[in-house]
Structure 1
Amino acid sequence: MNQSLTPAVEQVMRDAARLAVMPRFGTAGAALVADKREGNGGSEPVTAADRECEAILSERLAGLIPGAHVVGEEAVHHRPDLLDRLSAGTCWIVDPLDGTANFAAGTGPFGLLVALADNGIPVGGWILDPLSGRFCAALSGQGATIDGLAFRTAPAARARPVMAVTRLFPDSDRRARLLAELAEGAEVIDSPRCAADQYPRIAGGENDITLFTRTLPWDHAAGVLFLNEAGGRAARPDGTPYRCDDRREGLIAAVDPVIWDRTARQLESLGETLALTVEAA
């Protein structure tokens, strides 16, 4: 893939953040304008920043690769059939404002996520933190960068790894049991609902592992590619690679493959798949 794509995507994302996101941060313009209901009983807040930012990203990214589809989080809410485009050739995947609830509350973390997929496989991933200006990028087979500099993860070194666990478990008792088991060998913390924060945090060694249940493409495609290209590992609990068109749930992201394997074996021994809905035996 042409490396000139990254500076072009970076400019688009920084412009979208400058025009649609940051002018509203900490003001009345960050207020929620809608609340999307989800099939699992949860909800997703929406602000004017989500909508305007997605419109800017969608229009300008489409111009970078003529003929490429665009699948944005807000657009899919109104047209679920757009998800079919994830398997159809080249496709941009857009999360205009990950961590909307934090943004609306006037705090972080939040960020912009853009990925490029080829027939369902992530081949490009970009993450912008508008608060710090940090820009993470990865192209398939070409490594990862942070703010334009090549970046590699360092192996986990803590005796008790720091493990962030998503709060998106509809069964609170199930989550409590899992946390109790994991706490025997790890420092377990809550993972805020912001994948744009979690993937750079893992790569940088602030967290060693994060366990995700819901794995929507706009939340994870960019981060999975970035972490894998940086030397970490993100994959389904059974070891299969993440695909943007795979609607299964559950994902383990770790700073290095060794700790990923250890965590996957532990979850398997506990019978935990991280799926939000568990099939009856």
Structure 2
Amino acid sequence: MSALETAVADLMRDVAAKAIMPRYQSLSAGEIIEKAEDDVVTIADRESEAMLAEGLAKILPEAAIVGEESVHADASVMDRRGADLCWIIDPLDGTNNFAKGKPPFGIIIALAEKGETHAGWLWDPLQDRICFAERGKGAFVNGERIAARETGEDMPVAAISTIFMDEAQRHQVKQNIAPYFQLVDIPRCAAEQYPRLALGVNDVSVFQRTLAWDHAAGVLWLNEAGGRAARLDGSAYRPDQDGTGLLAAASPALWDKLAACIPD
């Protein structure tokens, strides 16, 4: 393990132990704040982000920092994503689950260079699982190199959320995708969904919202594992670019099968 990989992983474990796990299933009503419809933030999110930002600034002082909660407070923070070096932080992925006292949830960190993800970490404190990838060097789970695998089901398993889709998009899913895939519930946690795509639980997924803190690390990790994650038109996902729509799959062949079901 590289010094950088170890330092970030140790920071994530420490922050989870101090800011997140002590509040799991013990949040008071006043510690859960509604940011928007079906979107909440907790005191654990905010404390986690503050601690992560402080720790990451010590690891790479020259890197800009973009955190989910800092962007919520000041949208101009998003402009830092294209910096020479930039940390991208989801301090508590799966907040809705965490606020309800149920899994999954985790921490996601990506390191981008000039708008391209260079390294990514996805930490699940309940499963004691850390997924890590560095561009061009493979994907790992708890230090063991892994290769993405399909479920092997006769009808591939598709984890697709329609929460952020409009009615026309929901109709397209039912009409064009459902006949060829088994539709299953999503975990509402990218730190869990990306591992499901590589570890034989799900075969494909469609993401409507593609925010950098949710996807930069997972896209790199899945691609390094031999799966495929890309924009709907097949172009690479970049955390410094806005937009909607992202397809992810356990293999390039499954990505192609899913893409063929989505109208231009």
The CA deviation at 1:173 is 5.4
| Residues 97 and 110 in structure 1, CA contact (< 8 A), matched pair in contact too | yes
| Residues 31 and 104 in structure 1, CA contact (< 8 A), matched pair in contact too | no
Q: Which residue of 2 aligns with 1:15?
A: 14
Q: Which residue of 2 aligns with 1:27?
A: 26
| Residues 167 and 191 in structure 1, CA contact (< 8 A), matched pair in contact too | no
- Which letter does structure 1 place at the counterpart of 2:255? W
Q: Which moved more, 1:195-204 or 1:23-32?
A: 23-32
Rate the CA distance shift 1:3–1:200 in 2: closer, same or farther, 3 A.
same
| Residues 156 and 256 in structure 1, CA contact (< 8 A), matched pair in contact too | no
Q: Which moved more, 1:181-190 or 1:87-96?
A: 181-190
| Residues 109 and 194 in structure 1, CA contact (< 8 A), matched pair in contact too | yes
SS of residue paired to 2:235: coil
Q: Quick one: distance in 2 between partners of 1:30 and 1:7? A: 36
The runs of 4+ residues in structure 1 deviating greater than 4 Å are 29-32
Q: Quick one: distance in 1 between partners of 2:256 and 2:11? A: 37
| Residues 150 and 202 in structure 2, CA contact (< 8 A), matched pair in contact too | no
The CA deviation at 1:53 is 0.4
The CA deviation at 1:156 is 5.2
Q: Which residue of 1 aligns with 2:76?
A: 81
The CA deviation at 1:168 is 2.7
Q: Which residue of 2 aligns with 1:104?
A: 99
Q: Quick one: distance in 2 between partners of 1:142 and 1:171? A: 38
SS of residue paired to 1:158: coil
The CA deviation at 1:177 is 4.1
RMSD: 1.6
| Residues 64 and 80 in structure 2, CA contact (< 8 A), matched pair in contact too | yes
SS of residue paired to 1:74: helix
The answer on 1:95 being equivalent to 2:65 is no
The CA deviation at 1:198 is 0.2
Match of residue 166, structure 2, among 153, 171, 175: 171
- Which letter does structure 1 place at the counterpart of 2:72? H
Deviations 1:10-47 (A, max 9, x none): 0000000000000000113586432223xxxx442000
The CA deviation at 1:138 is 0.4
The answer on 1:55 being equivalent to 2:50 is yes
- Within a 5 Å distance, the mapping from 1:219-258 to structure 2 comes to 219-258=214-253
| Residues 177 and 258 in structure 2, CA contact (< 8 A), matched pair in contact too | no
Deviations 1:63-101 (A, max 9, x none): 111210110000011111111110111000000001101
Match of residue 138, structure 2, among 143, 150, 160: 143
Match of residue 123, structure 2, among 94, 109, 128: 128
Q: Which residue of 2 aligns with 1:274?
A: none
| Residues 111 and 128 in structure 1, CA contact (< 8 A), matched pair in contact too | yes
Match of residue 208, structure 2, among 194, 206, 213: 213
Match of residue 197, structure 2, among 192, 202, 218: 202
Q: What fraction of aligned residue pairs are identical, expressed as a percent?
A: 47
Q: Quick one: distance in 1 between partners of 2:47 and 2:116? A: 27
Q: Quick one: distance in 2 between partners of 1:128 and 1:85? A: 24
Q: Which moved more, 1:182-191 or 1:91-100?
A: 182-191
Number of equivalent positions = 264
The CA deviation at 1:224 is 0.4
Q: TM-score scaled to structure 2, two decimals?
A: 0.95
Q: Quick one: distance in 2 between partners of 1:139 and 1:35? A: 35
- Which letter does structure 1 place at the counterpart of 2:43? A
